[in-house]
Structure 1
Amino acid sequence: MSKHRPNRLAETLKEEISQMILVELKDPRIGFVTVTSVDVANDLAHAKVYVSVMGNEEETKASLDALNRAAGFIRSEIGKRIRLRHAPAIVFVNDPSIQHGAHIAKLLRDVGAADTADEDESHE
């Protein structure tokens, strides 16, 4: 099977699931969630949705739990919106890349602040 179809489906799923999380899911446990990517199996039967959740570890776990509980609803809505014979089974997985990037940026800012403080002390 061509690799183009799973990639196209992954992009479509990313857009549709992002929209559904933003507009249709009313679960208060779902915090600020961003769909970062979607991997679809070659047989189109399974989709792994990577999400980034802003918040602490407890909020992340609660949001992922709520999303995985809503996966059946999301799958049925995907089946209605996208013309597929079978909608893929959906699993939500935490993608820590945004938090990791924010941590690296903070470390770089701290190093930059320490460098400017060292320069100020050496000029005095």
Structure 2
Amino acid sequence: MSKHRPNRLAETLKEEISQMILVELKDPRIGFVTVTSVDVANDLAHAKVYVSVMGNEEETKASLDALNRAAGFIRSEIGKRIRLRHAPAIVFVNDPSIQHGAHIAKLLRDVGAADTADEDDSHE
């Protein structure tokens, strides 16, 4: 089977799920969530939805728990919207890459500030 259909479905799922989280899910445990990517199995039966959650570890866990509890609702809505015969089973997984990138950027800013301070001290 070609890889084109799972990739197209993954992009469609990413858009639809992002919209559903933003507009339709009203669970207060769901914080600031961004869908970063979706992996769909070749048989189109399973989808892993990678999300980045802004907040501490406790807020991340609460948001993932709420999203996984809403997975059945999301799956049924996806089936209606995309008109699939069998909508894939959805599992939400934490994607720490955005938080990791922000941490790296902060470290680089700190190093840059320290270098600037060292240069100012050496010129005096």
TM beyond 0.5? yes
Cα distance in 1, alignment partners of residues 82 and 112 from structure 2: 49
Aligned residue pair count: 124
Q: Which residue of 1 aligns with 2:62?
A: 62
Q: Which SS does the other structure have where 1:114 is aligned? A: helix
Q: Taking every aligned residue pair, what percent have the same amino acid on both sides?
A: 99
How far off is 1:83 after superposition?
1.7
Q: Which runs of 4+ in 1 moved over 3 A?
A: none
Cα distance in 2, alignment partners of residues 15 and 6 from structure 1: 14
Runs of 5+ unmatched residues, structure 1: none
Cα distance in 1, alignment partners of residues 103 and 119 from structure 2: 24
Q: Which SS does the other structure have where 1:49 is aligned? A: strand
Cα displacement string for residues 1-57 of structure 1 (whole angstroms, at most 9, x for unaligned residues): 110000000000000000000000000000000000000000000000000000000
Cα distance in 2, alignment partners of residues 21 and 53 from structure 1: 12
Cα distance in 2, alignment partners of residues 29 and 2 from structure 1: 38
Cα distance in 2, alignment partners of residues 19 and 102 from structure 1: 24
Using the size of structure 2 for normalisation, the TM-score is 1.00
How far off is 1:114 after superposition?
0.2
Using the size of structure 1 for normalisation, the TM-score is 1.00
Cα distance in 2, alignment partners of residues 123 and 6 from structure 1: 59
Q: Which SS does the other structure have where 2:38 is aligned? A: strand
Q: Which residue of 1 aligns with 2:112?
A: 112
Cα displacement string for residues 91-121 of structure 1 (whole angstroms, at most 9, x for unaligned residues): 0000000000000000000000000000000
Cα displacement string for residues 42-90 of structure 1 (whole angstroms, at most 9, x for unaligned residues): 0000000000000000000000000000000000000000021100000
Structure 1 vs Structure 2 CA RMSD: 0.3
